[in-house]
Amino acid sequence: MMNRRSVLQAFGGALTLPLLESVSSGTTTVPSAPTRLLVVGNPFGAHPDHFFPKEFGKDFRFPKTLSSLEWMQDRVSILSHTDHNMKSGHGREVAFLSGVLPETSSAFPEKNMSIDQIVARRTGTSTRFASVSACMERSIRMSWNANGVDIKPFTDAQRMYDHLFLNLTAKQREERKRLLNQNGSVLDAVRQQFSGVRKRASKNDQMRLDLYADSLRELEKNLVGRSQWVDKDKPAFDLGGYFKGSEITINNRYSAVFDMVAYAFQTDLTRVATIGFSPELKYTDVKGVTRGYHACTHNGKQEDTVSELVAIEAFQIAQLSRCLKKLDEIPEPNADGSMLDHTVVIFGSGMGYGGTHSNRNLPILVAGGGFKHCGHVDTRDSSGDNMPLCNLYLTLLRKFGLEYEQFNQSSGSFDFATGKA
């Protein structure tokens, strides 16, 4: 009989395979024109004077940070005054995509599972990879799975390329099949042992075992899904063109990352992606920047330091804008419009502004997705209270056919037509 430790050790081999941490349990048919999700974020928010337009409505003028998005004025929504109702300070940014801190997650049905992974759980059964996550240099914690574990992003463009586009050799494919079969046998053994243990367990232990059983079922579905891709070649992508010569810059690294995501969407390798900007990144090859990203957030309102911070934040948005242009140039297969029209895009942070460590006015932008966008909106209610960001997430989850009545701290949904809850 296998004990728990040997089971977990056996699972370890399976969990190191691509995307097994992003398990899939979708139960409905994905439409022929899939809706995709791209989330781009950072841990420090944005300087509010240069992120939020001064005007409200659709006829706003883009501030400096967002200027690279001027070409899609009628296809973006900028939400002022959203939050997760959390105290200011570091450590809250990990709740960006869930509205829930890990230490308080037990009180919520989805725990602190992030919306990208909830969507990936639905769409991932139809693609080679349920999701992909990248954050150059050093990871930030944006994506969380159903077990409350943060999903480690690729911190190196080459490793991301290998994962998405490098084909296995014949020998590697045979080894992958062997591992999948081996882990399938482990699951069979665990299932037999599990049935007997549950009958003898207390009521509280039965609840814990039921959660464990859910994980087993998701692992089983994932193993079946992974098996169908072993003998299928991946699409070709030329990474070398981004790194000609010896110089590796933040620009060519993130250009490669965003282009790989766009191509992964185009070839339907995945329908969910998250891209983060690490606080450890050096932006000194961005024009006008001499300081580190984190140092620029502690600017004391000094004009030269604020100018560098805005240049960094504008670079992040420019990278996103370039990716959106690519998606907008690709016709959506079997549907009207471009791939951008069928891709929900979120830019934001779980921190409002690093200079004050405030979490009360999160910088949130939504683009594409086929919404009738509302431009720049003040989401506060008639009492002046900020809108829970989870209201937006509830609307987005419903976009993917997930009929939630409530999502974590939501007080309702967000209406793109009116810009209100």
265-311: pLDDT as tens digits: 999 999 999 999 988 788 888 999 998 888 888 877 888 999 999 99
- What is the arithmetic mean of pLDDT over 27-42? 70
Contact 66, 324 (CB under 8 A): no
User: Does residue 372 carry a pLDDT above 60?
Assistant: yes
Indicate whether 174 and 312 sit together in one domain: no
* Helix axes 115-123 and 389-399, enclosed angle (nearest 10): 10
Q: How far apart are CA 378 and CA 99, in angstroms?
A: 19
What pLDDT score does 222 carry?
58
Phi and psi at residue 358, in whole multiples of 5°?
-80, 140
What pLDDT score does 22 carry?
36
Top pLDDT among 231 and 5 is at 231
SS3 385: coil
- What is the arithmetic mean of pLDDT over 395-404? 92
SS3 34: coil
The strand pairing partners of 365, in sequence order, are 78, 347
- What is the arithmetic mean of pLDDT over 371-390? 94
Indicate whether 80 and 223 sit together in one domain: no
User: Does residue 393 carry a pLDDT above 80?
Assistant: yes
CA-nearest of 105, 73, 46 to 297 is 46
The strand pairing partners of 343, in sequence order, are 36
Q: How far is CA 211 from the centre of its chain?
A: 24
The Cα-based distances of 4 to 17, 96, 149, 180, 199 in angstroms read 21, 34, 19, 19, 17
What percentage of the chain carries pLDDT values higher than 70? 77
Which ranges of 16-54 would DSSP assign to H, the alpha helix? 48-51
Task: Identify the band that residue 410 occupies on the pLDDT scale cut at 50, 70 and 90.
Answer: very high
pLDDT tens-place string over residues 218-247: 655 555 555 665 667 788 888 888 887 657
What pLDDT score does 402 carry?
92
What pLDDT score does 3 carry?
41
SS3 381: coil
Is 409 within the bounds of a domain?
Answer: no
User: Does residue 21 carry a pLDDT above 50?
Assistant: no
Indicate whether 151 and 94 sit together in one domain: yes
Long-range pairs for 153-162 at CB < 8 Å and ≥24 separation? Answer: 153/274, 153/276, 155/278, 157/239, 157/242, 157/253, 157/256, 157/257, 157/260, 158/239, 160/132, 160/134, 160/257, 160/260, 161/237, 161/239, 161/256, 161/260
For the chain, what is the domain count? 2
pLDDT tens-place string over residues 181-224: 655 555 565 666 666 666 677 767 766 666 666 665 665 555 55
Q: Residue 199 sits in which domain range?
A: 169-233
Contact 343, 369 (CB under 8 A): yes
Per-residue b or e along 344-379, where b marks 16 or more CB atoms closer than 10 Å to that residue's CB: bbbbbbbbbbbbebbbbbbbbbbbbbbbebbbbbeb
Q: How far is CA 159 from the centre of its chain?
A: 18
Is 316 within the bounds of a domain?
Answer: yes
Top pLDDT among 288 and 30 is at 288
User: Does residue 365 carry a pLDDT above 90?
Assistant: yes
SS3 68: helix
Is 420 within the bounds of a domain?
Answer: no
Task: Identify the band that residue 11 occupies on the pLDDT scale cut at 50, 70 and 90.
Answer: very low
Indicate whether 114 and 60 sit together in one domain: yes
In 272-379, beta strands by DSSP E: 272-276, 343-348, 364-368, 375-378
Indicate whether 174 and 213 sit together in one domain: yes
Indicate whether 307 and 284 sit together in one domain: yes
Indicate whether 175 and 274 sit together in one domain: no
User: Does residue 264 carry a pLDDT above 60?
Assistant: yes
Q: How far apart are CA 420 and CA 176, in angstroms?
A: 50
Indicate whether 62 and 158 sit together in one domain: yes
